[in-house]
Structure 1
């Protein structure tokens, strides 16, 4: 996630619907309760980010919620990757020399599958791959985990919202059990979040960043959460967010990111955030006043 401020604009409706049914969405928290801990790109402090190993490490540490990112390859496959280029977290410069700037959308899924996405983190993870989104949600399901899925750079991938929802449906992730408490789709793009809500109103959605006070009411029409960077948190802003109800009739929630420091975690919990997104979930769990209940 990057600290970009989204601009609320009118989304172009794509037409049609995808498996619409109303979601109930139990509230995750409120002021004075222990926030949900979300493993950022998996337990990425201990395993290479956005890999199956990172999801497994979060499960090994005992954490249900995993955050990850989705983008699309040149031939239209959905893959799990944060950056819009491949160079930071893979060996793309060695495997595919001469193809700078190594943008994700310039490579086919088969070409991405050849890359080593683990050696940069440590030799024990050599050979880890960039997962297809299908592979990642499969692993999260096997681990009995929940998914906070970020649509990255949607302006580069027109129609990715519909495609992502279709894949999630095919993999069984749009059933009531997941929609009512195991899946949240987020983006920095207000248009993208609105599109997800329009296509499948039952799905819980989140807008990343810190929209202005004046834009919050409009955001509440299509987003269940406002998820700001930790550095931008304030008591006044949280109060303004919580004063509004989202599209499912519940007070807007707040997941803050990326918090890896124990003191920051305690401060965020004191503010009353509903969730803390972190690379080191075990550190945050130890910092909070009570052990977080699973689920």
Structure 2
């Protein structure tokens, strides 16, 4: 997710046992803290959107990870946030004459050669940009849950269907995953609407802060409205919760990107259902002191 989209638009019970529990609103009458979601993996502690970041989140006992999905020139889905490879890989060094180094202009094999870890620190030199297959395999290995963002869908026609097919092939569209372990989100309302139309059983989230007057329309296809923490209030969260989403439960709010204890406690006080953070250990400690 990117802060520029703001204008346009619980604590997790962790580990394997946590994955067997229903979502917060399903447990009517039981007070829960917000779910903690590791943004691009535990991205303050390992290179974002890499398998190392998934591993770090698992090491911390964080049950949810978030990622970003885009498409290569030869049609593979890879996990990376920016539409350019420049910020988080050594693509400039490897391919100096290929500016502006867009993901969509490189093949899967070319991207697999890139170092996606050295920018973060020497300990992560040689870390690679994972394919979506590799990423979901690692999440599955750790018995985690996945908040998957379809990034820049306007650049990749048909990416919604392609993503769903891959998830299905990897076993992520069975009843248990759909009920407990997968949410697909996007800043594009059209993309979220498409996912819902193609596979109504998939839980979906819209990234942004729609006007309250527009919330009824979003509740038709989105189970979540997921805004920046800087754009919400207790009243806004309550307004979202007042609507019933496409799966018959109150629409949820996962807010982003919260990286300090004071803000985590503040948005928890608003009643959000989840907190997306680069520092899941910090947020969890703020909500559950002494964990």
TM-score (norm 1): 0.90
Mapped contact 1:27–1:250 kept (Cα < 8 A):
no
Q: Does 2:2 align with 1:2?
A: yes
CA distance in 1, matches of 2:221, 2:289: 33
Cα offset for 1:150? 0.2
More helix by share: 2
Mapped contact 2:6–2:228 kept (Cα < 8 A):
no
**Equivalences for 1:179-258 in 2 at 5 Å?**
179-258=178-257
Segments of structure 1 that go 5 or more residues without pairing to the other structure are: 9-24
Cα offset for 1:289? 3.8
Secondary structure of 1:45 counterpart:
coil
Q: Report what 1:14 is aligned to.
A: none
CA distance in 2, matches of 1:283, 1:171: 32
**Equivalences for 1:1-295 in 2 at 5 Å?**
1-3=1-3, 4=5, 26-29=22-25, 33-289=32-288
Mapped contact 1:6–1:208 kept (Cα < 8 A):
no
Cα offset for 1:239? 1.5
CA distance in 1, matches of 2:290, 2:95: 46
- 1:183-221 deviation per Cα after TM superposition (whole angstroms, max 9, x unaligned): 000000000000000000000000001011121100000
CA distance in 1, matches of 2:133, 2:181: 16
Mapped contact 1:7–1:189 kept (Cα < 8 A):
no
- 1:128-161 deviation per Cα after TM superposition (whole angstroms, max 9, x unaligned): 0000000000000011111000000000000000
Cα 1:283–1:5, aligned 2, differ >3 Å: closer, same or farther?
A: closer
Cα offset for 1:26? 3.9
Say how many residue pairs are matched: 276
Mapped contact 2:22–2:180 kept (Cα < 8 A):
yes
Segments of structure 2 that go 5 or more residues without pairing to the other structure are: 10-20
CA distance in 2, matches of 1:290, 1:251: 28
Once superposed, what is the RMSD of the aligned Cα atoms? Answer: 1.7
Secondary structure of 2:180 counterpart:
coil
TM-score (norm 2): 0.91
Mapped contact 1:32–1:272 kept (Cα < 8 A):
no
Mapped contact 1:7–1:190 kept (Cα < 8 A):
no
Secondary structure of 2:237 counterpart:
helix
- 1:207-258 deviation per Cα after TM superposition (whole angstroms, max 9, x unaligned): 0010111211000000000000010011221111011000011100000000
CA distance in 2, matches of 1:5, 1:284: 22
CA distance in 1, matches of 2:196, 2:290: 33
